[in-house]
Structure 1
């Protein structure tokens, strides 16, 4: 029997499980699902769209028993080859049909969702209910799935106080290579429910940040906390990265902000170019809806309307803060502390429209994955101790300076984004923009009206390869300096960067749950 006949037999088998309409074999679909924001993998043999955990279990067993690799894809918003196929004839699992919110348990304070549920869907369901998850999504949450974020890890909403996505996870149900479904946390106990993460060794932690190397998640349970209705906002501008990072670090150590993020001058300028009056009006409407009173809405609206677009003009190294507390007095106290910290480190207090607008519209369109002039975009990042933020920034800048001729030759633009993560960590994220053709994933993800207006570049592989080389040098430097990473995928140095004993243990776990290496082969260096 030929290889193609074997594949056809597997496809027929999984069609009986999920229905023929939910097994995609058209080449365009297979190509699309095999790429991430940065690169294309080998084209998948088929894309399977299960509807529930039982179907997922049967599909995985059917594929792996036939000897083929299987990879799960969530919202597709990553850029580290975390789900791009490395082998020919790989089967992709698209989890987006598994999007249900299965249980909101306000008595025991947890929520269980299916793997493909988006952060935006979860946010909108819980909004106004009196409860929310501690971490509640990345900026790409309109598309990013909960399970995808748990597999790759992510930061932003709530990260300033509550850490990354995996810090809010209580339990997961995960399908391992033979189709067995494993529950973790207190749900692993006979007749247990997913109310507590730790019961013996932390099996929940084992299946987080694994990039889907150890299994494919079917459900995720997250903690709930009381909804925080008292909000304050602040914004500062600093002369250089030293003042910005000193202020961000002190705010992080103090645990004052739900979100604290900063830009360099280049990214600030690009943001000003990107935002249109139409988008400002949409965001302005969101601010009005988000205000706690009619008077508050009028005041907010008047300030933003009078500021116009001046709140982004002539900024150098801006820092933006969102404060959330249960009562107004606590929020005001936190704000006053933040204002004092900003002033202490040389920051000028500026219009706080940016954090207000972003918080009022937390899951907007993902137009940022294309530059304001239609440029291609890709980031690289490192999570660093607070004490190392300045050092890593300056090391990255040295690499940029070293390659200044190449950067100029290919019209590459570089910038920096910073995010606080809990009380002990900051994310340093260099970004690259360059003239190059958009791929299908960018065209599909950004707003159609936005894409129609931006410039369309021809494919520019020389520039793309130049970006790739500089980006890899930055990644290698970060690894040498002891940085860690979200969405490790195949881009960051995990296997080579870990101490040998630690990686040997990871390999042993991989062999236990996936002895033939059929679940996402190659990711994490496994």
Structure 2
């Protein structure tokens, strides 16, 4: 009697898991349904396959041995970081896939202030890096995503993370250590010639960029070295309110062209309500006080920032405004930061902005990382997912208008399903970024439930299943991406959601990507489906 393909795959998986238990120990191999289900879903609400097992390595040698075993037994491997994906980044596309939970590789290996480098493992979170560097007076230029309490360096590298600080994750990256699909260990950039002390990515061809925003398709990142920079000794905050959307977008773009701010963001009325409704506990207020004292560049700045917060009255002033911008100006000293802030404020006034209390900027610099449930769950416990679209500054107005028009055309159907939306704006590096966020009432999938605080689990953890509303929201998000595709937007966090192949200028680019994947991973075992590489 012939052996079926399913039986062969099952025996290969069993053989791999037997090896995996020898490599990492049986306690770091999980096959129970609850763990595999939790680790297989993301915030996209699109169901693919469920992982057959979850393996938790803690060292590069273990990752290499696991990749070799997976190659021998033809078992798909998927690296997973903090799980903050909303684009199916680590969701298994093939049955029988094994998830590598990289959070166990969470060491900060080196903070070298003499040579201005930081080396970390991929499971380190941005919040952990922030806390470790704060006493040193140094930082990485890109300081992490808003989800940095849980989001990891490895996930950020695979998604080309952007957020706090100026630029994105690759700007200060000196090199990587990557385990290739066959288990070989590759050093890139400055690490290729000097793994212990990388200085420059440019000695010969630099392959570091190939592994940035690869969605984990080309290998498993096990170390990253970043350039450090001196923490600014002066910081000023600029916040303005706007009544008119067009004027606000023009002002935001003008702020980016001025070039004095490390961060330029804007919010609309939904987030104004979120910020104004927050009522911190006594413990949270004490934590904020400690954070301000630790992060402010000097003692006078501490006094000024605390006085500003005292006048803000929980940011209730924001509810009066449909739009607000906030910017952070960093400089060598406070006088220089203040000069930059005055120039930026003049630009905001030129477009009709009104100065606001600067408390929002102060809070976000002191505590840059938000609780995950505040990011991914709405004010009333709604499920949500964002999308992101990045275009040149000159296309920002058209992109916003097209986005608003799309939701206006769908408003009746959205109301029928209880679906709402809002948007966030970000400019950086000559780019205009728009992040529409869709909300709907529904049950919490395992990942959403896992990030809820205890209080919010009591309030929202047992919501009824609203499959019809969820399906509508998923389709609405898909159609939004289609509607804005004529702008040829850049997307962060491509994963398995955005069509990378269709975005390329010609067949030559895709042939190169395909060829590289075939060279290093002929059987397509590392995160199959990522970037559209099936």
Instruction: Specify if TM > 0.5.
Output: yes
CA deviation after TM superposition for structure 1 residue 289, in Å: 4.9
Alignment partners' CA distance in 2, 1:311 and 1:93:
46
Q: TM-score, normalised by structure 1?
A: 0.95
Alignment partners' CA distance in 2, 1:365 and 1:117:
17
Q: Is the 8 Å Cα contact of residues 113 and 220 (structure 1) preserved in structure 2?
A: yes
1:194 maps onto 2:204 in alignment: no
Q: Is the 8 Å Cα contact of residues 375 and 457 (structure 1) preserved in structure 2?
A: no
Q: Is the 8 Å Cα contact of residues 101 and 117 (structure 1) preserved in structure 2?
A: yes
Q: Is the 8 Å Cα contact of residues 308 and 358 (structure 2) preserved in structure 1?
A: no
- Secondary structure of the structure 2 residue equivalent to 1:491: coil
What's the counterpart of residue 218 of structure 1?
Answer: 222
What's the counterpart of residue 312 of structure 2?
Answer: 307
- Residues 455 and 25 from structure 1, CA distance in 2 versus in 1: closer, same or farther, beyond 3 angstroms? closer
1:97 maps onto 2:104 in alignment: yes
The 5 Å alignment of 1:65-464 reads 65-159=72-166, 163-189=167-193, 193-273=197-277, 275-278=278-281, 281=285, 284-285=288-289, 286-292=291-297, 296-309=301-314, 310-366=316-372, 367-422=374-429, 424-454=430-460, 456-464=462-470
- Secondary structure of the structure 1 residue equivalent to 2:217: coil
Q: Is the 8 Å Cα contact of residues 417 and 429 (structure 1) preserved in structure 2?
A: yes
- Residues 107 and 289 from structure 1, CA distance in 2 versus in 1: closer, same or farther, beyond 3 angstroms? closer
Q: State the Cα RMSD in Å.
A: 1.9
Q: Is the 8 Å Cα contact of residues 121 and 224 (structure 2) preserved in structure 1?
A: yes
What's the counterpart of residue 33 of structure 1?
Answer: 39
Worse overlay, 281-290 or 513-522: 281-290
1:504 maps onto 2:511 in alignment: yes
- Residues 203 and 428 from structure 1, CA distance in 2 versus in 1: closer, same or farther, beyond 3 angstroms? same
- Secondary structure of the structure 2 residue equivalent to 1:321: strand
**Number of equivalenced pairs:** 521
What's the counterpart of residue 475 of structure 1?
Answer: 481
Q: Is the 8 Å Cα contact of residues 177 and 518 (structure 1) preserved in structure 2?
A: yes
Q: Is the 8 Å Cα contact of residues 241 and 264 (structure 1) preserved in structure 2?
A: no
CA deviation after TM superposition for structure 1 residue 355, in Å: 0.9
CA deviation after TM superposition for structure 1 residue 14, in Å: 0.6
- Residues 192 and 360 from structure 1, CA distance in 2 versus in 1: closer, same or farther, beyond 3 angstroms? closer
CA deviation after TM superposition for structure 1 residue 84, in Å: 0.2
What's the counterpart of residue 55 of structure 1?
Answer: 62
CA deviation after TM superposition for structure 1 residue 123, in Å: 1.1
Alignment partners' CA distance in 1, 2:57 and 2:18:
14
Q: Is the 8 Å Cα contact of residues 117 and 146 (structure 1) preserved in structure 2?
A: yes
Alignment partners' CA distance in 2, 1:455 and 1:523:
31
Worse overlay, 200-209 or 287-296: 287-296
Q: Is the 8 Å Cα contact of residues 153 and 166 (structure 1) preserved in structure 2?
A: yes
CA deviation after TM superposition for structure 1 residue 6, in Å: 2.8
- Secondary structure of the structure 2 residue equivalent to 1:147: helix
Alignment partners' CA distance in 2, 1:264 and 1:126:
33
Alignment partners' CA distance in 1, 2:183 and 2:286:
46
Q: Is the 8 Å Cα contact of residues 191 and 198 (structure 2) preserved in structure 1?
A: yes
Unaligned runs of 5+ in 2: none
Worse overlay, 366-375 or 101-110: 101-110
Q: What are the superposed Cα offsets for residues 433-467 of structure 1, whole Å, 9 maximum, x if unpaired?
A: 11111111112123222333448531112111111
Unaligned runs of 5+ in 1: none
Worse overlay, 508-517 or 289-298: 289-298
Q: Is the 8 Å Cα contact of residues 155 and 421 (structure 1) preserved in structure 2?
A: no
- Residues 412 and 314 from structure 1, CA distance in 2 versus in 1: closer, same or farther, beyond 3 angstroms? same
Q: What are the superposed Cα offsets for residues 231-277 of structure 1, whole Å, 9 maximum, x if unpaired?
A: 1111101112211111111111122111111012233234434x224
Runs of 4+ that moved beyond 6 A = none
- Residues 272 and 432 from structure 1, CA distance in 2 versus in 1: closer, same or farther, beyond 3 angstroms? farther
- Residues 56 and 459 from structure 1, CA distance in 2 versus in 1: closer, same or farther, beyond 3 angstroms? same
Q: What are the superposed Cα offsets for residues 118-169 of structure 1, whole Å, 9 maximum, x if unpaired?
A: 111111111121221110100111111111101111111113xxx1112221
Q: TM-score, normalised by structure 2?
A: 0.94
